[in-house]
């Protein structure tokens, strides 16, 4: 006598139902990361809002709206991440090239002024 619960007495069917489309991702963790650490122009917060909407719609069973909000959350997350990674790299490159240019300019000006002072000594004699 089998007393295990729950009892399942269904026989496996030979015809399987077609696989359902996977539920859309809500990108909530990525949006939280962008909101807390890399909030470029508040795009991380906008991505967080769309990610929460996508999760709410997914829980409610509205897959099409969840897909729409998930797509928007992914877009804003990508923009926030790209803006937060590219802009500091661009700023760093500009600072480095500016420092190199100013150091070359300073070396040239030192050479110019030493030439002018040494040339005026020869004319006085």
Residue with the larger pLDDT of the pair 125 and 68: 68
Residue with the larger pLDDT of the pair 120 and 34: 34
> Which pair of tokens denotes residue 80?
């926030």
The single residue listed with the structure tokens 């929460």 is 52
Would you list the domain boundaries of the chain?
Answer: 61-119
Handedness of CA 80, 86, 87, 92 (dihedral sign): positive
Q: Which residues contact 18 (CB under 8 A, 6 or more apart)?
A: none
pLDDT in tens, 58-112: 999 999 999 999 999 999 999 999 988 888 899 999 999 999 999 999 888 887 7
Report pLDDT for 58: 93
Report pLDDT for 24: 87
Question: What pTM, to 2 d.p., does this model score?
Answer: 0.62
pLDDT in tens, 1-58: 556 666 555 555 555 545 567 888 889 999 999 999 877 788 999 999 999 999 999 9
| Whether residue 90 has a cis bond before it, omega within 30° of 0 | no
Residue with the larger pLDDT of the pair 65 and 113: 65
């Amino acid at each position: 006598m089998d007393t295990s619960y729950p009892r399942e007495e269904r026989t496996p069917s030979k015809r399987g139902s077609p696989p359902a489309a996977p539920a859309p991702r809500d990108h909530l963790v990525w949006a939280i990361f962008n909101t807390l650490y890399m909030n470029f122009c508040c795009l991380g917060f906008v991505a967080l809002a769309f990610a929460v909407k996508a999760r709410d719609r997914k829980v409610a069973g509205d897959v099409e709206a969840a897909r729409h909000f998930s797509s928007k959350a992914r877009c804003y997350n990508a923009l926030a991440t790209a803006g937060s990674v590219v802009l500091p790299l661009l700023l760093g490159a500009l600072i480095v090239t500016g420092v190199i240019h100013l150091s070359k300019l300073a070396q040239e000006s030192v050479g110019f002024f030493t030439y002018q002072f040494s040339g005026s000594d020869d004319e006085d004699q």
